[in-house]
Amino acid sequence: MKRLKLITAFAGLATVVFGQGALDNSKLLKPPTTDWPTYSGDYTGQRFSPLKKVNDGNVQNLSLAWLYRINAPGATATVFKANPIVVNGVMYVTIPDHVWALDARTGREIWHHVHKSEGGIHLGNRGVGISGNWLYFETPDCKLVSLNLKDGKERWQKSICDLDQMYYASTAPIIVKNHVLVGVSGDDLDIPGYFESRDPETGELQWHWSVVPKKGEPGFETWPNEDAAAHGGGMTWGTTTYDPELNQIYFGTGNPQPVVAGKSRQGDNLYTASIVALNPDTGKLVWHFQPSPHDTHDWDNNQVPVLYDGEINGQKKKLLSVACRNGWFFTLDRTTGKAIVSKEYVKTNWAKGVDAKGQPIPNPDKEPQFAGALVSPNQGGAANWPPPAFNPATGLFYVNAARAFSVWYLYDTDDKPEGWGGTDRGGWSESMLQAIDYKTGNIKWSHKWEGSGGRSGLLTTAGNLVFAGDTTTNFVALNASTGEPLWHANVAAPVANAPISYELDGRQYVVVGAGDMLFGFVMYGK
């Protein structure tokens, strides 16, 4: 709060004219109302808005308030995959190398920052992190950049990965206390994954956690040798959630490398394709759970670990649930990492069952083969980066899912496969929005979309709604209890990010990205 007052005093003009101002970081600890101050709205990853001015009784009156379209000549990835952040009436949104500040009431552009790129894969950018009056974002050329919220002027930039090893950076930084938490991407040169904490004032390294353990460390025994471990992958491009009471952060790790041809990395390959809990102050591993031991299907486990308090067998528990790319849903005790529920949320064909820890046991016959193996899910997975949502009122975990088949082939005949060494081809898929009972993993309701393809992230609200993109170009509101579609708008391109909601001047807004457009919907009237 001290910082907020300070900024208000020194930057009063900007606050009045643009409605800008520093983030009171204590807002990160509460469900979002007038702001959407971090990737998931708050630290829980629930993407739950307590707002209910828009609800299952009136959502049909939701109106378009504004439309913003990217104007960035020369940009190479003009799709809004980023999660917008809203602080004090200003929205901050990105595509690779670009950050915009928009008026959250009107969509009017306030400033536009362009990062001069030195290369890297421009696949997408997940958004910004904000602490006080500073903004942080990652770039494809491996930079963590800090900007001034007020005007988008650069404060500093620090390298967080190595372009020459084909790393790139796309994650939305998460701010926990005095830590800027950053992850990295890169899946082609058999490189080690890691996760870092950076100083919010200087960008200097505070701690570095290697996804794959080194010789002598616990978990190393799941690799055949040091060379395999040193090139073992496990990227950290998902988002992070945080429990301040336990002082633990949670995130998922990516697939091991070589990606598809796994013969030179026999073993479970910890801590790739895992959910991990770390101490945010030290970067020390607290626990892990591995949904895809020895993954060979590119099933990154970077899906959002969602935190909530629930009841299991009459006992209150601190829980964590994930709907994984491999088609399995898990509910864990987030204090210990012990599995409570392990269950498919779409039908799959790659696991022989679960082990004593609740982890699926891969069927070796469904590893990629030179002559092909028919596997479900496909490479895209049953879920991917678009975030799920959890509604405390319904007790349901929502995920926009796909049930898909493809044939997995080994290509690399070398004694030491490198890179991918194979891939999947072809496919058939169907798409559905699954509402999962966190206590059992049972599907409470399933809304099957017509056709297949595009899937969006989700938002759920106290108005008993789930907002989602369908497989075409519709932005849809469904009844959170029953799955009945209640409202839609054709937004002219597949929904490309996850919706957010915030209230300004007593009006509830719902904002979603589709293609190169951001749509701001609002509920007018009382």
Partner 1 sequence: MLSKLSTKYALSAVFIAGTAAGIYAQAQAPAARPQRKAPTGQGLLGQAGAADKHIVDADAAERGKKVYIQECITCHGPTARGGQGGSDLVRSLVVLKDRYGSEIGPFLKKGHQTQGSPAAQFSKEKIEDLADFLHLKVGDTLRTSPLFRAQNVLIGDAKAGEAYFKGDGKCTQCHSPEGNLKGIGAKFEPVDLQQRFLFPKPGFGRGGKPTMVTVTPPTGPAVTGTLVQIDDFNVSLRDADGEYRAWSRINGLKVKIDDPYAAHAQLLDRITDKNIHDVTAYLETLK
Note the residues at the interface with partner 1 (CB under 8 A): 76, 117-123, 140-141, 163-166, 168, 188-190, 227, 231, 347, 365, 369-374, 376, 405-407, 409-414, 416, 418-420, 423, 425-428, 449-451, 470-472, 474, 476, 485, 488
Q: What angle do CA 481, 497, 308 make, to 5 degrees?
A: 45
Least gap, CB of 119 to partner 1 (angstroms): 4
In what helix (H) or strand (E) does residue 317 lie, and over which residues does it extend? strand 315-323
Report the DSSP beta bridge partners of residue 339: 332
Least distance to partner 1 from the beta carbon of 423, Å?
A: 7
Nearer Cβ to partner 1 (180/410): 410
Name which of 446 and 472 has its Cβ closer to partner 1. Answer: 472
DSSP string, 50-83: ---SS-TTTGGG-EEEEEEE---TT-S--S--SP
- Our CB check for partner 1 shows the closer of 295 and 367 to be 367
Sign of CA dihedral 140, 208, 322, 318: negative
User: What tokens appear for 201 in the block?
Assistant: 């004032």
Cα separation, 312 vs 24, in Å, equals 35
The nearer residue to partner 1, 191 or 273, going by C-beta atoms, is: 191
Q: Helix, strand or coil for residue 164?
A: helix
Instruction: For partner 1, give the closer residue by CB, 129 or 421.
Output: 421
Catalytic residue (one of 103, 298, 424, 516):
298
Q: How far is CA 452 from CA 207, 424, 445, in A?
A: 42, 18, 18
User: CB-wise, 164 or 204, nearer to partner 1?
Assistant: 164
H or E element at residue 144: strand 143-148
Q: How far is the CB of 46 from partner 1 (least distance, A)?
A: 25
Residue listed under structure tokens 């049930």 = 403
Q: What is the distance of C-alpha 87 from the center of its chain?
A: 20
Structure tokens at 78: 């003009």
Which residues contact residue 435 at a Cβ distance below 8 angstroms, ignoring those fewer than 6 apart? 394, 396, 397, 398, 443, 444, 445, 446, 447, 466, 480, 483
Distance, CA of 283 to CA of 271 (rounded, Å): 14
CB-based burial, 65-77: b 16+ in 10 Å, e otherwise: bbebebeeeebeb
Residues 6+ apart with CB under 8 A from 445: 435, 482, 483
The Cα angle at residue 33 between residues 31 and 39, in degrees rounded to 5: 60
Q: How far is the CB of 406 from partner 1 (least distance, A)?
A: 8
Q: What is the DSSP letter of 221?
A: G
Q: Which is nearer to partner 1, 360 or 368 (CB)?
A: 368
Active site residue 298: yes
- Which C-beta is closer to partner 1: that of 241 or that of 406? 406
Shortest gap between Cβ of 482 and partner 1 (angstroms)?
14
Active site members: 298
